[in-house]
Amino acid sequence: MSDVLSLKGISKAYNPDKPNEVVVLSDANITIKAGEVVALVAPSGAGKSTLLHIAGLLDTPDSGQVAVSGQDQTGKSDRRRTRTRRQDVGFIYQFHHLLQEFTAAENVVLPQLANGVSKADAHERAQMLLGKIGLKDRMTHRPGELSGGEQQRVAFCRALANAPKLLLADEPTGNLDPATSDTVFDALMELVRETGLSALIATHNLDLAKRMDRIVRLEAGKLVDV
């Protein structure tokens, strides 16, 4: 099967050639196949967010190749990269970043409308996703009326709204208490497995990491199999 994500020889430094240069990635490599769920573990400051942003086409490496859905992104215009990101990549952050003035359903509908989906189809998909993740009775709640775990579940559905091929998550349950984190993570994995998504999920939590297909560690700018 084809690779959904391929990073080859990725290097990235902040403030290059300056006294405060920080080399974050140095020849990092990974491929993720269709349906594969990979845990990314590393201490804080090791470069997880930088790597996820490069993989998700939000940032560019200094050198190396990024391919999403088999398409090499090297030298592609910002417009092309944005289109690929919108169609193929879903992001989840530690904090949900939901739009407070909109309901749970609307938060899942809006990214679809931005992608050209009709209102009716977008609502249908939002109801399907929120229903699957146990929020059937919370469709019209605003984020402020939801618990932390529920807010994060809505954020998962929003990330999956446009049926991406690749899910990138940065400590998706890091802001929740351990018991909630566990059940919310289960809900996420169920949704990921059901939709056949590929995922790269950064976590500090080794128990969660062990529930994924494999674990890679970010060490001195490189990705090593655990």
Nearer to ligand ADP, 193 or 204 (CB): 204
Site for ligand ADP in 49-88 (CB under 6 A): 49-50
Amino acid in the structure at residue 91: F
Residue 160 · residue 133 · CB < 8 Å = no
**Which of 84, 83, 50 is CA-nearest to residue 166?**
84
Q: Is there binding between residue 41 and ligand ADP (CB under 6 A)?
A: no
Q: Is there binding between residue 46 and ligand ADP (CB under 6 A)?
A: yes
Nearer to ligand ADP, 19 or 116 (CB): 19
Site for ligand ADP in 12-31 (CB under 6 A): 14-15, 22, 24
Q: Is there binding between residue 47 and ligand ADP (CB under 6 A)?
A: yes
**Stretch in the footprint of ligand ADP (CB under 6 A) among 42-50, 70-78, 109-117, 122-130:** 42-50
Provide the binding-site residues for ligand ADP, judged by CB under 6 A.
14-15, 22, 24, 42, 44-50
